[in-house]
Structures are given as structure tokens and as C-alpha cells.
Amino acid sequence: MDLSSLLTVEQILPQMHATERWGAIVELVDLLGKVGKIKPEDHDVVLRALNQREETMSTGIGFGIAIPHASSDKVTEVVAAFGRSMGGIEFDSLDNAPVKFVVLFVVPRDQFQMHLRTLAAIAKLLNDRSVRESLATAGDAKDILAIFKSRGNASK
């Protein structure tokens, strides 16, 4: 699963406003609603699914990365959003460091393998220090998407 195939410029927030984990998740789910990836009536159900996942263990995986994710019967395809925080977000990460990059995704409930593949692909991509450095200095959402496209194609 290539992250660039899940994102559009409209699904990227180059400057998140949230300063803590739950606010960041809400901000990205709101964005997915605004661009029509999540129906208004499904907003709270999707947030509850993400919250349940976060309560089991933080999705802050370290190196300034968080990948909040859940499965839901309210989506028919994988939907994702990316957010960048220059100031850092308190995410209860494994390394206790603030999160700079948040990739949120929701997978249809019956697609467990897709869920695992998506999570693994995102983690692998963001584990590359040069990708994180490029994302940190990207000017806007178009530049961020271009980084995902170039890195996604390089890994094939």
C-alpha cells in the first residue's frame, strides 16, 4: 500500500493546530469529513473506533511519528489523512518525544490484511530519516504529497 495513493493535497495538513493526541486525531478526522471521505453522520462513530484503539496503546511509535488507525464499517475503502506539526504534539509516544508527523487511516472492518499492510507500509516509509527530514522542510501540502509520491515509487 503506497501512502501517496491514499492521499490528495486536500487530505494533508501542513500545519496542525493540535498540541495533544486526541486533538490531533479529531483535527484529521474533521479534515476527512470536510473532503468527503467520511460522512457527517459517521464522524463520531469513526472517532470512537480511533479512540478505542488509542486507549489500548498509543499509536505514537517514536521518531516523531504517530499512526492512529482503526477499522470501521463506516468506510468502504481505506481513507487517510496526514498532518505535520512544527511545534510537536504530546502523543504518549513510545519514546516520550513529541510527534511531528501524524498519519491517520481508517480501513473497512472486513479488511484486516489491508489494515496490516497499510500500517506496515506507512511505518516503513516514515522510518526512513531522509523522508522525515524532507517532510519537515516541505513548503506546503503539494510538496508533502510529492515526497510521498517519489518515495512510494522508489520503494516499488
CATH number at residue 55: 3.40.930.10
Say whether pLDDT at 154 is over 60: no
Q: How far apart are CA 59 and CA 106, in angstroms?
A: 13
* Catalytic annotation present for 17: no
Question: Which residue out of 17, 43, 69, 115 is catalytically annotated?
Answer: 69
Poorest-pLDDT segment among 25-39, 78-92, 111-125? 111-125
Please state whether 70 falls in left (phi above 0), alpha (psi between -120 and 50) or beta: beta
Q: Which domain covers residue 30, as residue numbers?
A: 3-154
| Full-model pTM | 0.94
Predicted confidence at residue 156, as pLDDT, reads 43
Give how many domains the chain has, as a whole number: 1
